[in-house]
Amino acid sequence: MNNILLLASGGGSNVRAILDYFKDRNDVNFPMIITNNPKAGVIEVAKEYGVDVLLLNKRIFQEELFIDTIDIYKPHLIVLAGFLWKIPDYMVKGYANKMINIHPALLPNYGGVGMYGHHVHEAVIAANEKESGITVHVVNEHYDEGTVLLQKKVKIAKGETPETLADKVLKLEHTWYSKVIDSLLTTE
């Protein structure tokens, strides 16, 4: 069984896309969604799919002892889906090459501290880029610098706004993130 832990801070549209993708699979289990935001829409998504939620505060997350909680679920993968806190070193080391993230731009550009959501799309448009896209990467000790697993591009249209670009990029995220996750699972 491939246990996948999901970490999310926002609305949960990527979590919904992932749960939909795997809903008929007997070899994949989502034992928990971890969030740091008590108002996150992902909590409602979790309820719809019958997945438990762990609401986490920063102090506990920073404590190395928290890895014991993660270890209980024996995750094959830890998937970040709009999780906005930096992952502590103990988790990066404890789950090296087993933790992935999706970024709404073509890394290495437009990554790092503060580069999430609309901030990314605003920066891409302000730089007059011709294209943007998504990057799925392994999580390491630095923001958005882990090994790239997949990149997909979209053209930026004349008159593109951060909102219209965000819609295009989100469609790519919903299409490709689950496929990358699937490619990393074990078959038994």
pLDDT, tens digit (0-9, with 9 covering 90-100), for 144-165: 999 999 999 999 999 999 999 9
Q: Is residue 114 domain-resident?
A: no
In total, how many domains does the chain have? 1
Q: Could you list the residue range(s) of the whole structural domain that residue 36 is in?
A: 2-102+135-149+172-183
What is the model's pTM? Answer: 0.95
- Looking up residue 47, the CATH number of its domain turns out to be 3.40.50.170
The predicted-structure confidence for 32-82, as pLDDT tens digits, reads as follows: 999 999 999 999 999 999 999 999 999 999 999 999 999 999 999 999 999
- For residue 44, how many C-alpha atoms fall within 13 Å in the half-sphere facing its CB? 7
Q: Is residue 110 domain-resident?
A: no
Just list the catalytic residues: 103
Between CA 171 and CA 49 the distance in angstroms is 21
Say whether the peptide bond before residue 108 is cis (omega within 30 degrees of 0): yes
